[in-house]
Amino acid sequence: MTMDISDASRTTTQTVTDYDRAKEVQAFDDTKAGVKGLVDAGIVNIPRIFIRPPEELVEELTSHQTNSQVPVIDLDGVRGNKLEEIVDQVRAAAETWGFFQVVNHGIPLNVLEEIIEGIRKFNEQDVELKKEFYTRDRARNVRFNSNFDLHYSRTANWRDTLTISALASTDLDPNEYPEVCRDAVREYIKNVTKLGETLFELLSLALGLKAEHLQEIGCPKEYTLPCHYYPSCPQPDLTLGATGHSDPSFLTILLQDQIGGLQVFHDNQWVGVQPIVGGLVVNIGDFLEVVSNDKFKSVNHRVVAGHVGPRVSVACFFMGHNAEIPKSYGPIKELTSEENPPIYRDFLPSECFSKRFSMAVDDNSLLHQLKL
């Protein structure tokens, strides 16, 4: 018998705590001021809802000193004589690391700097202005909250997030955006969704499909843009900025500032993703692992908390046909055969995304649930 995952994670939460966690979580949520509100109040000891359980705390937080680094791919020449070479690099990275960084991707440096600055300003403005956006209603295109899974996770993360979701082909009403970051966010979305199309072409070719394949099945159709703010943390060894997880998306493009803290699980150890000025991190999401029938890997990653902060990052999740025009996906026919039968069932992105939002993020069972 299969158990409802959201119920399973709730049970875990109940058995590991000997205090009224739900009540303390609710009180924190009710402040609508997020983790930044705790830091502004001058707390020295972090509240226990953020403290990881003892068996997790014994685990090493620092990433291992290793010579291996997430591959860096130079996109210069992608429309010319470098295409084949770039496709080979994308294939190698997607099959092994599930992660790579791109440089010379065509998004101007000032567009990257301005959204980072805009998100910092949004979080550091008058708390009353921020509260107007505080909600857990996923039907809202623009929403601010601390920890999307606050009420389900075992441990809360040291992070606040402003999220924007929409169809890539239609502009939201400019008035829906917070004023302090409106122009910067709109400009970044225009650029990052275009880069997404280029990356889906490269990934299609890397899978041995025609360049338009992933675009034609709608991979870049809808996006969700979580813009994260990780305040400096007085006790960074006790908590995490983001618990280990893989992304419920086809592909994620991540912009991070220069502080660092993102780690990828590779070869049985956590490896830090070194920030590159002007670079962007790209990772394969769960949905692409499914449609590629496991050729490409959706890999676990996390963010450690730090004394130095705030750290700002902006993720762009490409969701395929999700909320607006739902469509089901499964392993691509051209990629399966008698010797290589489909190993996943068909799924709806909206179904997976809802599950992810109603279960603890460290319950990394989304892909397992889809296994035939």
Sheet holding 242-245, edge to edge: 242-245, 301-303, 262-266, 269-272
Please report whether residue 228 would count as binding ligand OGA according to CB under 6 A. Answer: yes
Considering only residues 98, 178, 226, 309, which one is a binding residue for ligand OGA as defined by CB under 6 A? 226
Locate all alpha helices (DSSP H) within 125-159, ordered by sequence.
127-131
Q: Which residue is nearest to Ni ion (CB)?
A: 247
State both tokens at 6: 């959201």
State both tokens at 257: 């500032």
Q: Which is nearer to ligand OGA, 37 or 226 (CB)?
A: 226
Please report whether residue 315 would count as binding ligand OGA according to CB under 6 A. Answer: yes
Nearest by Cα to 277 from 135, 148, 107, 57: 107
Please report whether residue 313 would count as binding ligand OGA according to CB under 6 A. Answer: yes
Instruction: Give me the least distance between CB of 281 and ligand OGA, in Å please.
Output: 8
Taking the C-alpha atoms of residue 141 and residue 25, their distance in angstroms, rounded to an integer, is 24
Considering only residues 242, 290, 319, 366, which one is a binding residue for ligand OGA as defined by CB under 6 A? 242
User: From start to end of the chain, where are the E strands?
Assistant: 72-74, 99-103, 142-145, 160-167, 222-230, 242-245, 251-256, 262-266, 269-272, 280-284, 301-303, 311-320
Please report whether residue 303 would count as binding ligand OGA according to CB under 6 A. Answer: yes
Q: Which is nearer to ligand OGA, 78 or 282 (CB)?
A: 282
Please report whether residue 247 would count as binding ligand OGA according to CB under 6 A. Answer: yes
Q: Which is nearer to Ni ion, 207 or 315 (CB)?
A: 315
Instruction: Give me the least distance between CB of 286 and Ni ion, in Å please.
Output: 10
| Contacting positions for Ni ion (CB under 5 A) | 247
Instruction: Give me the least distance between CB of 226 and ligand OGA, in Å please.
Output: 5
Q: Which is nearer to ligand OGA, 201 or 247 (CB)?
A: 247
Residue 49 near residue 24, CB atoms below 8 Å: yes
Taking the C-alpha atoms of residue 272 and residue 310, their distance in angstroms, rounded to an integer, is 18
The item of ligand OGA, Ni ion, none sharing an interface with residue 94, based on CB under 5 to 8 Å by kind, is none
Considering only residues 254, 264, 282, 360, which one is a binding residue for ligand OGA as defined by CB under 6 A? 254
- Say how far residue 335 (Cα) sits from the centre of its chain: 26
Number of residues located near ligand OGA, criterion CB under 6 A: 11
Instruction: Give me the least distance between CB of 361 and ligand OGA, in Å please.
Output: 9
Please report whether residue 256 would count as binding ligand OGA according to CB under 6 A. Answer: yes
Q: Which is nearer to ligand OGA, 21 or 301 (CB)?
A: 301
State both tokens at 253: 């493009």
Please report whether residue 298 would count as binding ligand OGA according to CB under 6 A. Answer: no
| Direct distance between the N- and C-terminal alpha carbons of the chain, in angstroms, rounded to an integer | 15
Q: What angle do CA 257, 264, 329 make, to 5 degrees?
A: 100
DSSP string covering 240-293: -SEEEE--SSSEEEEEE-SS--EEEEETTEEEE----TT-EEEEE-HHHHHHTT
Instruction: Give me the least distance between CB of 241 and ligand OGA, in Å please.
Output: 7
* Contact positions vs ligand OGA (CB under 6 A): 226, 228, 242, 247, 254, 256, 262, 301, 303, 313, 315
